[in-house]
Amino acid sequence: MSFQTEIAAALQEVEGILSKSLTWNSTTYACNPSGLSKQNELGPGGFSGESTISFSIRKELFTGALPQPGQSVVFESATYKIDEVVTDASSAFVRLICIDPNL
């Protein structure tokens, strides 16, 4: 079993435990979300906030193009904007680093 296959199998096992999913491009994908992080930064005119969350999705679940920065995903009824798309070294999964566009 290759390293990529082992990572994908482990992610699939965690997906079964968490039972979480997100929607991108009208398709629902099983995912492994990270914790939601909220930051407040003091700037001119007061505080500005930013919420970030990341999602790991098995690359094999995507049948066509991968998500791109600037696109949106929906997770637990909240919409997030994709800020960065990262593929791991083994290409077993894609990590979407997202921000809350409402803050």
Q: What is the pLDDT of residues 39-92, one digit of tens each?
A: 666 667 765 656 789 999 999 999 999 999 999 999 999 999 999 999 988 888
Contact 98, 52 (CB under 8 A): yes
Structure tokens given for 11: 């992610």
The residue assigned the tokens 């990262």 is: 86
Cross-strand bridge partners of residue 24: 27
Q: Which amino acid is at 85?
A: V
Q: What's the chain's Rg over C-alpha atoms? A: 15
Q: Which residue has the tokens 């995507």?
A: 62
pTM above 0.75, yes or no: yes
